[in-house]
Amino acid sequence: MPSDAYDVVVVGAGNAALCAALSASENGASVLVLECSPEDVSGGNSRFTAGAIRFAYNGLEDLQEIVTDLTEEEIATTNFGTYTEDQFFDDMFRVTQYRTDPDLCEVLVRQSFPTIKWMREKGVRFVPIYGRQAFKVDGMFKFWGGLTVESVGGGPGLIEMLTKAALKSGIEIHYEARALSLLFDGFKIEGVKIRHQGELKDIAAKAVVLAAGGFQANSEMRTRYLGPGWDIAKVRGTPYNTGDGIRMALDIGASSTGNWSGRHSVGWELNAPEFGDLAVGDNFQKHSYPWGLIVNARGERFVDEGADFRNYTYAKYGREVLAQPGHFAWQIFDNKVLHLLRDEYRIRQVTKVSSDTLEGLAEQLDGVDAAGFLRTMEAYNKAVQTDIPFNPNIKDGRCTKGIDLVKSNWANTIDEPPFEAYAITCGITFTFGGLRINTDAEVQSTDYRPIPGLFAAGELVGGVFYNNYPGGTGLMNGSVFGKVAGRSAAEYVKQ
């Protein structure tokens, strides 16, 4: 075979792409992976993650197939609980307001356990997420949010382990190789046009898997599809996900679907750079707000900080911050909960103020109306139902009464010094709209038929997430549909 002709070309080298490449290869295809970034920052958004990945499991035995080296002590002191397929379905339906595509959701949920097992067999190692997803109460850790493991070494570790597995399987990876357009004869895919090492090349391929991420790093597309103001958002991850994969498929008549005006976005350090910084990873996020309050420039609250566990609210609260005057907010905590703050609050790159009095704090909250803030605090402190016990492991029902915007759970008075406040803005993670695929990951045309030879997986697929998202599902979505896409592409090639 000439070096520039392959059975399957995969565009991107993130989690979805590498899973697709491994799957195509184990099903007998010769595979080339094209990644537009340099090798040291390759892996797209997947490299920026903590590697937290959601899957259904029925208890410890299942978990031990994924985390193969759990110690006796970990087992004795941890309630890993279960996260059944039914719970996963419920979470997907609830957070997407029953809009997730039922067929794709079914594949996502039911294939989540077999897929993570397959990743483990390929050499990806996982550990429990004690730091962020479990609290110790009465001597026992309890996992509270359906999100129990992360890859060893976080996102960088995940990409390294998948890349190693790919190279071991004989898959070629070209870095700084940008896919520009699809070669298409009007009926079927024939390859990809690329720019690599200063040359334009046509790479012949019988099938192409697009796994090149969403359009969140493209401020023009953000503004066009998400709406005015989204040009202001900070990009949490890679600068390379500029919507190329979506655009090249639409150019040849692919069908678009899903929540094109929707996105995953979070509270993110106010002074973070335009794009993610791999030295900081996901630590610009500030996700301990369920234990405190969030106020805007008027000193007013604007979300129910305790509406649900962090895993089910963080991805929709970024847009609420963006909608505030000046696109910023401050998170407020007192001494009672400082020990619960996630590790991301203890990095150097935070915009933080502290004081022994609320008045002293108010003076330092840059851009905030101090009188408004103190009014909010007074009303809130009076409204907390202190007779209900606080428990971070459950939705404890410790709420407020008598103020317009309720805090539904984990409402503690904020009255014990020292007080700390952290400034945030909106950080966008990825976009929800994208290409229409079927359950075999075949890209559909505007005639609602598969485009022969074209497959897609990961962020650039539409229809899975709407409005919101359960934490840890982005990676699993890419893994499940990457594996399906790779297998489908290899099977197509054999026809």
Tokens 């090349």 locate to 201
Nearer to ligand FAD, 422 or 430 (CB): 430
CB of 237 to ligand FAD, least distance (A): 3
Q: Which of 237, 290, 392, 450 binds ligand FAD (CB under 6 A)?
A: 237
Of residues 392-431, which lie at the interface with ligand FAD (CB under 6 A)?
A: 429-430
- For residue 70, the Cα-to-chain-centroid distance in whole angstroms is 26
Given the DSSP bridges, would you call strands 263-269 and 78-79 parallel, antiparallel or unpaired? unpaired
> Is 465 among the residues that bind ligand FAD (CB under 6 A)?
no
Q: Is 456 in the site for ligand FAD (CB under 6 A)?
A: no
* Residue 474 binds ligand FAD, judged by CB under 6 A: yes
Q: Which of 8, 22, 31, 53 binds ligand FAD (CB under 6 A)?
A: 53
Q: What is the smallest separation between the CB atom of 449 and ligand FAD, expressed in angstroms?
A: 24
> Tokens for 127?
């550990």
* Short-list 299, 307, 474, 276, CA closest to 407: 307
Q: Is 310 in the site for ligand FAD (CB under 6 A)?
A: no
Site residues for ligand FAD, 192-221, by CB under 6 A, read: 211-213
CB of 37 to ligand FAD, least distance (A): 4
Helix (H) or strand (E) holding 334: strand 329-334
How far is the C-alpha of 21 from the C-alpha of 490, rounded, in Å? Answer: 10
Among 178, 206, 327, 483, binds ligand FAD (CB under 6 A): 178
Judged by CB under 6 A, which of 7, 282, 304, 442 binds ligand FAD? 282
> What does the alpha-carbon distance between residue 341 and residue 458 come to, in Å, rounded to a whole number?
31
Q: Which is nearer to ligand FAD, 127 or 361 (CB)?
A: 127
Rg for the chain (alpha carbons), in Å?
A: 23
Binding part of the chain for ligand FAD, among 49-57, 120-128, 317-325, 354-362 by CB under 6 A, reads 49-57
The letter for the amino acid at 212 is A
Distance (Å) of CA 443 to CA 262, 296, 385, 437: 21, 43, 52, 4
Whole-angstrom distance, CA of residue 427 vs CA of residue 235: 6
**Any residues with CB less than 8 A from the CB of 136 and at least 6 apart, and which?**
none
- Whichever of 163 and 400 has its CB closer to ligand FAD, that residue is 163
Kindly tell me which residue out of 189, 270, 475, 489 binds ligand FAD, with binding defined by CB under 6 A. 475
The three-class DSSP label of residue 114 is: helix
**Part of the chain binding ligand FAD (CB under 6 A), chosen from 82-90, 378-386, 418-426, 468-476:** 468-476
Return all residues near 462 (Cβ < 8 A) that are at least 6 apart.
256, 257, 258, 259, 260, 432, 433, 434, 435, 436
Sign of CA dihedral 84, 85, 89, 91: positive
Tokens of 311: 């895993």
Q: Which of 226, 258, 459, 463 binds ligand FAD (CB under 6 A)?
A: 459
Lookup result for tokens 């699809």: 182
* 48 makes contact with ligand FAD (CB under 6 A): yes
Per CB under 6 A, the segment of 10-18, 224-232, 310-318, 369-377 that binds ligand FAD is 10-18
Strands (DSSP E) along 144-215, which ranges?
149-151, 172-174, 177-184, 189-196, 199-210
Tell me, residue by residue from 327 to 356, as one string, x for binding to ligand FAD by CB under 6 A and - for no binding. ------------------------------
Q: Which of 8, 9, 10, 16 binds ligand FAD (CB under 6 A)?
A: 16
CA atoms of 330 and 424, how far apart (whole Å) = 6
- For ligand FAD, the closer of residues 163 and 255 by Cβ is 163
Query: Given the rule CB under 6 A, which of 84-92, 183-191, 235-243, 432-440 is the region that contacts ligand FAD?
Result: 235-243
Residue type at 424 in one-letter notation: I
Range in contact with ligand FAD (rule: CB under 6 A) among 1-9, 43-51, 95-103, 366-374: 43-51
- Residue that the structure tokens 């993130």 belong to: 14
- Report the residue from 157, 276, 318, 463 that binds ligand FAD according to the rule CB under 6 A: 276
Query: What's the rounded Cα separation, in Å, for the pair 439 and 311?
Result: 26
Q: Indicate whether 109 belongs to the interface with ligand FAD (CB under 6 A).
A: no
Q: Are strands 31-34 and 172-174 parallel, antiparallel or unpaired?
A: parallel
Out of 122, 236, 301, 310, point to the residue binding ligand FAD (CB under 6 A).
236
CA-based end-to-end distance of the chain: 18
- 450 binds ligand FAD, rule: CB under 6 A: no
Q: Which residue's CB is nearer to ligand FAD, number 36 or number 119?
A: 36
- Extract the tokens encoding 254: 């692919």
For residue 106 the two structure tokens come to 């079914």
Q: Is 269 in the site for ligand FAD (CB under 6 A)?
A: no
CB of 147 to ligand FAD, least distance (A): 8
By beta-carbon proximity to ligand FAD, the closer residue of 17 and 384 is 17
Alpha helices in 207-289 (DSSP H): 219-221, 244-251
The structure tokens listed for 169 are 């399987």
**Which spans of this chain sit near ligand FAD (rule: CB under 6 A)?**
11-17, 34-37, 42-46, 48-53, 178-179, 211-213, 236-238, 240-241, 244-245, 276, 282, 429-430, 458-459, 472-475, 478
